[in-house]
Amino acid sequence: MFKLTLFVGLAMLAASMNVQNDIQNTEVKVDLKNAKVVVYEMNYMNTIYTYEVGIKRDDSLGVILDWKLKNPGEKVGRITITNDAFQNATQLQTNFLSGDKVYDKAVTVLLSNRLFNDFNTKSAASIFTGAGDATPVKFVKGDNSYTLCKVNGVSEKMFTCNATGFKNGKEVKISYWDNADFPVILHSEQGYSLKLVEIRTE
């Protein structure tokens, strides 16, 4: 009986590992060198917007994001994430005010290397989700999943890490691509929802 139970358990574990491998093997290669545009669908107070972000890696300046918020109307702006912020920031925010901004202590669209590593090594990360927040939100990793997203017009499966926290008594969520070269936010629920629908590369 013990041998049968052990065999069944090992078979289920192997099947689970094969599913994860299948998911990971379908991933297209995207990094900061070839990523050009990410497109989100944003839902704010039941109004749907398109949030399109052009991405450029500049070794001296950092990561430059040229964004447009469309439907209805249109806002445009540029965010420069400094090299130090991209490495070490613990603040994750989204800006929808037109104009140029420099983030030297925050990231947006992408996780910083510090946050990505904290999730990988500690299964949790403390994140300031607003510029004026006095205390961070502790996001704890839950079950992994996969997300379907169009990459250059082709639907791809992206191995996804999901994390949940609580801010002012309300649940907040982020999901990101488990890709150290391009840890893009796939989905976010923080009073509004963001969902990645498209990536374009060179």
3-class SS of residue 26: coil
- What is the pTM for the complete model shown? 0.85
Tell me: pLDDT of 178 over 90. Answer: yes
In whole angstroms, how far apart are CA 176 and each of 78, 116, 132, 195?
Answer: 22, 9, 24, 11
Domain ranges for the chain, please list them.
2-48+109-201
DSSP 9: H
d(CA 25, CA 153): 18
38-47 pLDDT, tens digit per residue, is: 999 999 999 9
Provide the pLDDT for residue 13. Answer: 46
Tokens read off for 152: 């250059």
23-35 pLDDT, tens digit per residue, is: 444 457 899 989 9
Mean pLDDT computed over every residue of the chain: 88
Provide the pLDDT for residue 5. Answer: 44
d(CA 96, CA 29): 29
Provide the pLDDT for residue 1. Answer: 52
As a whole number, mean pLDDT of residues 55-72 equals 94
> Other CB atoms closer than 10 Å to residue 53's CB: what's the count?
21
Helix (H) or strand (E) holding 170: strand 170-177
As a whole number, mean pLDDT of residues 157-180 equals 96
Tell me if 115 sits within 8 A of 164, measured CB to CB.
Answer: no
Tell me: pLDDT of 153 over 90. Answer: yes
* Percent of the chain with pLDDT strictly greater than 90: 77
As a whole number, mean pLDDT of residues 85-113 equals 95
